[in-house]
Amino acid sequence: MSMPLSLRAAAPRPRPGLWIGATLAALAAWFALYWQLEGFSGWLVGLLPITPGTHLDEAVRFFAFDTPKVLMLLALVVFAMGVVRSFFSPAHTRALLAGRREGVGNVAAAVLGVFTPFCSCSAVPLFVGFVSAGVPLGVTFSFLVAAPMVNEVALGLLFALVGWRVAVTYLVFGLGLAMVSGWVIGRLHLESWLEEWVRNVRATAADLPPERLSVIDRIRAGLEAMRDIVGRVWVWLIVGIAAGAFIHGYVPAELLAAIMGRGEWWAVPAVVLLGVPMYSNAAGIIPVVEALLGKGVALGTVLAFMMSVIALSAPEMIILRKVLTLRLIAVFAGVVACGIVAVGYLFNALFV
Amino acid sequence: MKTVKILGSGCKRCLATAEMARQEAARLGVPIALEKVTDMAEIASYGLAATPGVVVDGKVVHAGGLTKPEEWAKWLAD
């Protein structure tokens, strides 16, 4: 993937053909490397002086194979999503959602939340920008729930580590949760619970000329996203995989299954309560999810934990406190947490 | 003299954008008065949906994501 970067310095004139060619070549190299990975990492671990079949051996194998595998998949998914996201912008999404009815608006907001470039440092201007431009409050919340929760890092890692079925279910239920919780908040008509200055913002949407992006710009956007996200996330990922490797090798399955197994009705609300204040990137939590599943923990319980960690967190609420009154934050967190508990129970009932 | 405002909460990208404004203005030889706007109500009043935003002489020219050197040449030209 480093090839296009070095080409940029060498070529003074933009040559789209070259960029597309280099991207395709990099993709081919990616797939070739990926298929060889398991054999290679197995061979590498085999060289270490570890007795095969021991706890340590199991943990090391998990770590040595999963780390490069997951990093590679993450790089690919983030690159692809970076290219796709270059077709969307917050301003465009806002224009699409402004004045939209509730219901349809909630559905559109949740879906757009997945594709619109969003960074948590932009959450406040985005929130105020949406609300002041006439996007209904509940629709704005649908966006705000979906954007951090249903993202390419979470979906890509679930796909890589747990399988496509769980990834697709997470996508569907994540979107559903964003739609329904936003709709519920909209029905409660809590506009007066916004901070006063937010209600007083009178702004017309800034009139920017539409950006014209070339193919090269879009590939660059993908590379930029890859550099940025993989650069931020890899530490989380390695910590997560190390924790997962520890669970794999050492934590007895009976213990976890007893605490978080399907039989325990209180397990779902308990893990959600535990997860809400916690903050971790999807990259840190999913390897743990994978290891927990391997130990017989119920899927719905694990997913509820994961959703509550990713979708709701103390740092996010502190950021939102600038625009929302405490009462509104409490309603927001309460509605989303209840939704996650419902998703957890539903999952446990569906996937027996 | 051009007035350049960088709108943003002080995140990494906002700082990078302010830095680029300074560099590009120096490179192009355009004198600018650079101001970082961090007050959320003021940022919102410009009608942005994403930060960092760039306002040159009172006009929003950029919202969200990093800026490119070529863009600065255009914004600071006239």
Choose, out of A97, A119, A122, A319, the residue to mutate when testing the contact with B (most B CBs < 10 Å).
Answer: A122
Predicted local confidence at residue A287, as pLDDT:
85
What pLDDT sits at residue A6? Answer: 46
Backbone angles phi, psi at A62, to 5 degrees: -60, -45
CATH homologous superfamily of domain B2-77? Glutaredoxin (3.40.30.10)
What the block records as the tokens of A275 is: 């997860």
- Cα–Cα distance between A109 and A205 in angstroms, integer? 18
Return the residue of A nearest to B42 by Cα: A201
**Residue A128 and residue A122: Cα distance in Å, rounded?**
10
Q: Name the residue type at position B53.
A: G
How many angstroms separate the CA atoms of A244 and A62, rounded?
A: 8
Residues of chain A contacting B63 with CB distance shorter than 8 Å: 90-91, 206, 208
Verify whether the Cβ–Cβ distance B61 to A132 is below 8 Å: no
Per-residue pLDDT tens digits for A25-44: 999 999 998 888 888 888 88
Element (H, E) at A161: helix A152-161
Mean pLDDT of chain A: 86
Q: Which member of B14, B18, B32, B48 is catalytic?
A: B14
The CA distances from residue A46 to A39, A189, A248, A345, in Å, are 10, 62, 19, 42
pLDDT band at A250 (very low <50, low <70, confident <90, very high): confident
As a whole number, mean pLDDT of residues B14-33 equals: 91
Helices (H) and strands (E) in chain B, counts: 3, 4
Q: How many CB atoms lie within 10 A of CB A40?
A: 13
User: Which tokens is A140 given?
Assistant: 């704005």
CA distance B7 to B36: 6
A100-109, A115-124, A147-156: least confident range: A115-124
Length of chain A: 352
DSSP A296-313: T--HHHHHHHHHHHHH--
The span from the CA of A279 to the CA of A308, in Å, is 9
pLDDT of residue A132: 87
> Rounded distance, CA A42 to CA A50, Å?
12
Question: Among A38-42, A224-228, A255-259, B10-14, whose mean pLDDT is lowest?
Answer: A255-259
- What's the CA angle centered on A314, arms A299 and A226, to 5 degrees? 70
What's the rounded Cα separation, in Å, for the pair B46 and A142? 24
**Best CA proximity match to A348, nearest among A300, A308, A302:** A300
Q: How large is the average pLDDT for residues A289-311?
A: 87
Give the tens place of pLDDT for each residue, A336-350. 999 999 999 988 888
What kind and span of H or E run contains B56? strand B53-56
Residue B33 banded pLDDT, cuts 50, 70, 90: very high
Q: What is the pTM of this model?
A: 0.84
Largest CA distance in chain B: 32
Residue found by looking up tokens 């960029």 in the block: A19
pLDDT in tens, B37-66: 988 888 888 888 888 899 999 889 998 888
Instruction: State yes or no: pLDDT of A97 exceeds 90.
Output: yes
How does residue A133 score in pLDDT terms, banded at 50, 70 and 90? Answer: confident
Give the confidence band of A263 by pLDDT, cuts at 50, 70, 90: low
Decide if A206 and B50 are in contact by the 8 Å CB cutoff. no
pLDDT band for A5, please (50, 70, 90 cuts). Answer: very low
- Banded pLDDT at A262 (limits 50, 70, 90): low
Integer CA distances (angstroms), A164 to A122, A160, A170, A308, A327, in order: 31, 8, 10, 21, 38
Say if residue A281's pLDDT is above 70: yes
**Dihedral sign, Cα of residue A97, residue A98, residue A102, residue A104:** negative
Give chain A positions within 8 Å (CB) of B46. Answer: 203, 206
Q: Is B11 within 8 Å of chain A by CB? A: yes
Helix axes A164-187, A152-161, angle to 10 degrees: 150
